[in-house]
Amino acid sequence: MLFNRAITDIIRQRKSIRSYLGTSIEKEKNEALTHFLSANTTGPLGSQARFTFITASREDRGALKGLITYGMIKNPMGFIIGAVGNTPYGLEDFGYLMEKAILMATDLGLGTCWLGGTFNSSGFARKIALQNNEIIPAVTSVGYAVTKLSPMDSLVRSSAGANKRKLWSALFFKNDKPLPTEEAGAYAIPLEMVRLAPSANNFQPWRIIKDSKDDTYHFYIKRVPGLKFFMKSDLQRVDLGIAMCHFALAADEEGLKGSWHIHDPRLGGIADKLDYRVTWVGGK
Ligand SMILES: Cc1cc2nc3c(=O)[nH]c(=O)nc-3n(C[C@H](O)[C@H](O)[C@H](O)COP(=O)(O)O)c2cc1C
């Protein structure tokens, strides 16, 4: 088993940590995460990505020199850096793979924060020896969480409404109406895990429409108008990959089989205002 605890517990426990203690990450945890990352290279939609984990020690922060996070992250003791090819589903696959690494780090007792905006890519690009055909959509800071939130943490958390999540009825639908929990059956848990997922600016752009066929769920992005002009990468596609990761890991834990397919069902109705990305077909 990959995780030591139930994935639903790990997902519920994870929250963004922006201030860390100066404590170094122990050798065993470093090795466990590095080992995991070495095999975490193929996304569910087929893109190849690669990840590296760079850590500092309490005495020597040299390894993290030049990794700039614009004052948002205090005392990071490491970073997970990832690169992916600029392919049609590269960003979703990247989101999926990086989130799996974050859940692994959470399971190891480490605090993390996704950074898709507040990082300067050039230092990170050097550390991962970025190739011409690759991009770094985001990085993740890692370390032990301080026990008390810093003023910066409190400010960022309250401006993003970080503790808040949209209601089930705003996210999941069937026949243009909110999906009743009972109709989701055993999929209520994977859907709830999507609801709790992190997203850039906490926009929670995922919308899921249940097909009239049993256990088929179509995943869409509800676009925030104009957003792409402010972002280095299309982070809403990364968010969708994160949602896929929570959904698939929770489904697996529930013993629900299924696979991802890309085939827009052209449902009409509310789907017309959404950006279709991928479908989960259960039972196969
Ligand atoms: C793709 C992505 C990019 C993010 N980029 C940043 C960032 O640049 N700076 C930052 O402080 N937080 C960033 N976050 C963290 C979100 O603000 C945070 O996940 C959200 O507010 C929900 O809070 P939570 O993670 O504590 O549940 C990012 C999250 C995601 C998923």
**CATH number of the domain to which 40 belongs:** 3.40.109.10
Which of residues 156, 183, 198 is at a domain's end? 156
Nearest CA to ligand 1 atom 19: 198
Whole-prediction pTM: 0.96
220: CB partners within 8 A, 6+ apart: 206, 207, 208, 209, 271, 274, 275, 276, 277
pLDDT tens sequence across 200-211:
999 999 999 999
Q: Which two tokens stand for residue 40?
A: 């975490």
Read off the CATH number of the domain in which 180 is found.
3.40.109.30
Where b means 16+ CB within 10 Å and e means fewer, 154-179 reads: eebbeebebeebeebeebbbbeeeeb
Nearest atom in ligand 1 to 99's CA: 31
Query: Which residue is listed with tokens 């479908």?
Result: 279
Are 229 and 132 contained in the same domain?
Answer: no
At 121 the pLDDT is 83
Last residue of a domain, one of 156, 180, 213: 156
Same domain, 172 and 263: yes
Alpha-carbon distance 189 to 217, whole Å?
14
In a domain, 161, yes or no: no
pLDDT of res. 158 = 87
The whole-number pLDDT of residue 229 equals 63
In the chain, at which residue ranges do the beta strands (DSSP E only) sit? 49-55, 78-85, 111-115, 134-135, 139-143, 172-174, 177-178, 206-210, 216-221, 258-261, 275-282
Count the alpha carbons within 13 Å of 267 in the hemisphere toward its beta carbon. 25
Is 177 found in the same domain as 104? Answer: no
Residue 48 sits in the same domain as residue 135? yes
259 C-alpha vs ligand 1 centroid, how far in Å? Answer: 27
Same domain as 82, residue 56? yes
Task: Tell how far the Cα of 43 is from the centroid of ligand 1, in angstroms.
Answer: 21
Report the number of distinct structural domains present in the chain: 2
Q: For 61-98, give the DSSP string.
A: -GGGTT---TTSSBS--EEEEEEEE--TTHHHHHHHHH
CA 235 to ligand 1: nearest atom: 1
Q: Is the CB of 93 under 6 A from ligand 1?
A: no
In a domain, 1, yes or no: no
In a domain, 150, yes or no: yes
Same domain assignment for residues 132 and 232? no
* Closest C-alpha to 196, from 250, 270, 137: 250
Tell me if 235 CB under 6 Å of ligand 1. yes
pLDDT of residue 230: 66
The tens place of each residue's pLDDT in the chain, 284 residues long, gives 789 999 999 999 999 999 999 899 999 999 999 999 999 999 999 999 999 999 987 777 888 888 888 778 999 999 999 999 999 999 999 999 999 999 999 999 999 999 998 788 889 999 999 999 999 999 999 999 998 888 878 888 888 787 899 999 999 999 999 999 999 999 999 999 999 999 999 999 999 999 998 899 999 999 987 776 667 789 999 999 999 999 999 999 999 999 999 999 999 999 999 999 999 999 86
**Is 211 within the bounds of a domain?**
yes
Could you say which of 106, 131, 156 is where a domain stops?
156
Does 151 lie in the same domain as 43? yes
Residues 112 and 204 in one domain: no
In the three-class reduction of DSSP (H, G, I as helix; E, B as strand; rest coil), residue 278 is classed as strand
Look at residue 74 and tell me if it is in a domain: yes
249 and 116, same domain (yes or no): no
Mutation to probe ligand 1, out of 10, 15, 16, 17 (largest number of atoms < 8 A from CB):
16
Whether 13 and 148 map to the same domain: the answer is: yes
Domain hosting 236: range is: 168-282
Ligand 1 binding pocket includes 118 (Cβ within 6 Å): yes
Q: 204 and 232 share a domain?
A: yes
Structure tokens at 47: 């893109």
Residue 232 pLDDT? 75
Ligand 1 centroid to residue 254 C-alpha, Å: 27
238 lines ligand 1 (CB under 6 A): yes
Verify that 113 and 201 share a domain, yes or no. no
8 A C-beta contact, residue 266 and residue 282: no
Closest among 266, 259, 249, 238 to 115, alpha carbons compared: 238
Q: How far is the CA of 34 from the centre of ligand 1 (A)?
A: 23
Distance from Cα 269 to the centre of ligand 1, integer Å: 31
Residue 203 in contact with ligand 1 by CB distance below 6 A: no
**What is the Å distance from ligand 1's center to 17 Cα?**
9
pLDDT of the residue at 203: 94
